[in-house]
Structure 1
Amino acid sequence: MSPENDTTETDSTNTWDRRDALKVMGATGVGLVGASAASGNAAAAGPTAVIDTNPLPVTEGTTVTFDGSNSTGDITKYEWYRNSAGDGFYGVVKEGETFSESFAQGDFSIKLKVTDSNGNTDTSQFSFKVYGDGTATAPIPRIEMVRGGDGEITFDGTRSTSPRGEIVEYEWSRNSAGDGFYGVNFTGPGFFENFADGDFDVRLRVTDEEGQTAEKVITITV
């Protein structure tokens, strides 16, 4: 999928600052993971149940891991419950620090109950939505441009984002407009090049830490 995003072009003769920044700039992205705090029913000095969830958002068929290892206290038992949202919970489906499952499209709830060595308990509940396609989880490529003199253009992809964590790979391709692409010409968050006069297509493909990809193609005139 290639979600649409506007291209930002800034006319400037000061391309050197942007170029130098790209040499040292790492992958950036917007992370999104779920977490749920305890319900507050723990006894004084008792345990605290915490659910960490990854990945989010969730698409149909994706395996989601719910992790209770950040719960606090002298915990001796972890009990997991799950059901469709609003339907209540009907028995333990898994014991242990973590619980993993894939889901159909819909709304679901997970509950974690922890018990410490003194028999004190606490629970935490987490609700989430499972989407039927990858639209909500695909990364969003964004290309920014800075024009210099003599046909020099700097392309910057660092404002690309992903709802499932960081962008870990940037792949750039370019060719004369309409001629297609024949492999990857540059990798990294950005690149610069001196173009001859004419029209050119530039493609940015980004990959996030969950392995999902998306690409954006723009046409420029030099």
Structure 2
Amino acid sequence: MKVMQVLIVIVFLFLFHGSVYGTAIVFTGFQCLNAINPQDTSVSNTPIQSRFEVVEDVGEGMFRLNLTGGIPRIVNNNQNICIDNVTALGYSGIAEVDGLPAPLQSIDATAYFSGKDLVIVINSLFTDLSARRDSFASFFSTSNIFAITNTLFFEFNSLTFSFRLNKLIHNRGYTQTTSGSTNFIPFLETVLPSFNDIPRDKPRILTPISSIDYVLE
């Protein structure tokens, strides 16, 4: 039995490296009802797929991926799972080219696969598009900008050709600028590398209670 499992892994690695482009792992679920609140795993009635597709084999177990559909939202000690397709993908835009930032439909990700363990890192930026300016009061404020990093840890099951999500490290940074109250302090800038629940807290280490298995396509 042990020998058979090893042979399956070898065959999988050959396929994965030999025909890497278009290889994907997929998890099917439902969109989060409240995509903005990371603590809310309530599901909507809208089905969606979280899909990681390989776009480049960098070598030495490193891969560039494309993520569509978002990623599962996990809350410790909560068996409900929804797929966050908003903050996990984020926004992008250059003012002179795009005008306002727009929601992304896909985003780049980076992965390492050892043959058993798969680690995927995704970085996204989310904005609430709340920037405003009051010319009469000489007041302005930028949008609330959240820098989000999700690191997913999977284990490969050679019998089912699937990847089980075992851990997720989630961190959300924050920045905003508003006008100051005096000429000596024209700007008030807030920059927080970690602001998940409260300012200057720690990244959240999350363990799913329910099974989250991505199947190979």
Question: Under TM normalisation by the shorter chain, which class is it?
Answer: under 0.3
TM-score by length of 1: 0.22
TM-score by length of 2: 0.22
Q: Which has the larger radius of gyration?
A: 1
Q: Which has the higher strand share?
A: 2
Greater RCO (Cα-Cα under 8 Å, separation 6 or more): 1
Q: Which has the higher helix share?
A: 2
